[in-house]
Amino acid sequence: MNNAASDSPVVSVDHVWCSYGDFIAVRDVSFAVARGSIHALLGTNGAGKTTLLETIQGFRQPARGHIDVFGFDPARERTRIAARTGTMLQESGLVDEMTVAGQLELWQGLNLREDNPDRVLELVGLTHRRKVAVSALSGGERRRLDFAMALWGDPEVLVLDEPTTGLDPQSRRMVWRTIHDLVAAGSAVLLTTHYLEEAQSLAETVTILDRGRVAREGPMADVLASIPATIGFTVMAAPETVSELAAQLAGDLDASSAAGGTRVDISTSRLQEDVGRVIDWARGHDLVVDRLRSSPASLEEVFLVVADADAEAASGERTSA
């Protein structure tokens, strides 16, 4: 990750609402994407991600609130913004009858940014397929060609909607590497993905939407810290000895019988302190802790907490209706 990202955002979403008639798709959403950074925009199905992306790109006008990209209103200055923005959507705009090289030559004629088809084909590993018809490409190769078009001319902002869907692990690493290179050169990336491990690895900041509202937002480390970390191990210890450990912890301890002793699971917001207390407790009682693991919350766990809360809220609404 690039720690030298500018404090001045290139994309700013300020208390934005979007609606389709009486249906409100986006409710009071705010976040910013800094130059030289990656921001992940995530959400459950129907959370409003697509609507918000369309609004950021100027295809829709927000019902309330304000968006600016490079200091411009995208709905009013869409052409000016598009000249500095690369976009990779879920739905491809490729022409099946053209060759790969022909597709990029067409793109070259339509694009305001300058680049070379051979350069971007090499970046995405499609040089050997340049004379092949687009219709003959595999699904993963089509996504790589989509990515090549988004990369054209090293855009200042790159909007990537599910960029690695359908890619093999090697191609996915290529996409990650290329994104990191662009960010290191100062570009900003707005990323949506269902691969939460990918988002956690790539993004410095994240916004998680739920039913149009912001459920979590901020630096990735802060969002991960919004739910407890976990510690787990098995130990041969009497219940009263385990109870002694529980009294020493900042977090909550749950103990259960397991093959080979007692299974201990700890949920804590102070991971480092409680790991130290577990080690000190084990040494003090001359105990061996087996299969010890400790880890902060993952983005997937945070996402599932949001999704579970949404399911409970929806169930409550149905019950009260």
The order of strands in the sheet holding 38-43 is 85-88, 157-161, 188-192, 38-43, 205-210, 213-219
CA terminus-to-terminus distance, the chain: 47
Domain count across the chain: 2
Name the DSSP class of 276: H
What is the per-residue pLDDT for 313? 61
Smallest CA-to-CA distance from 156 within 20, 37, 49, 320 is with 37
3-state helix vs strand vs coil in the chain, percent to 5: 40, 30, 30
Q: How far apart are CA 188 and CA 262, in angstroms?
A: 49
Strands 9-20 and 188-192: unpaired
What is the per-residue pLDDT for 257? 87
Is there a single domain that holds both residue 143 and residue 274?
no
Is there a single domain that holds both residue 154 and residue 238?
no
In-domain check, residue 148: yes
What is the per-residue pLDDT for 321? 54
Residue with tokens 């099946």: 96
The domain in which residue 258 lies consists of: 229-295
Q: How far apart are CA 92 and CA 100, in angstroms?
A: 14
Is there a single domain that holds both residue 220 and residue 236?
no
Residues 6+ away with beta carbon under 8 Å from 200: 220, 224, 298, 299, 300
Is there a single domain that holds both residue 240 and residue 216?
no
183 contacts 36 by C-beta, under 8 angstroms: yes
> 63: domain CATH number?
3.40.50.300
In-domain check, residue 300: no
Is there a single domain that holds both residue 188 and residue 175?
yes
224 contacts 57 by C-beta, under 8 angstroms: no
Is there a single domain that holds both residue 216 and residue 260?
no
Instruction: List Cα–Cα distances, 295 to 224, 229, 234, 251, in angstroms.
Output: 11, 6, 16, 14
Q: Tens-digit pLDDT profile for the chain (321 aa)?
A: 444 444 679 999 999 999 999 999 999 999 999 999 999 999 988 899 999 999 999 999 999 999 999 999 999 999 999 999 999 988 778 999 999 999 999 999 999 899 999 999 999 999 999 999 999 999 999 999 999 999 999 999 999 999 998 899 999 999 999 999 999 999 999 999 999 999 999 999 999 999 999 999 999 999 999 999 999 999 999 889 999 999 999 999 999 988 778 999 999 999 999 999 999 999 999 999 999 999 999 999 999 999 888 666 665 555 565
Is there a single domain that holds both residue 55 and residue 187?
yes
Q: How far apart are CA 165 and CA 88, in angstroms?
A: 12
Query: In the listed set 224, 258, 273, which residue is the last one of a domain according to the structure?
Result: 224
> 289: domain CATH number?
3.30.70.240
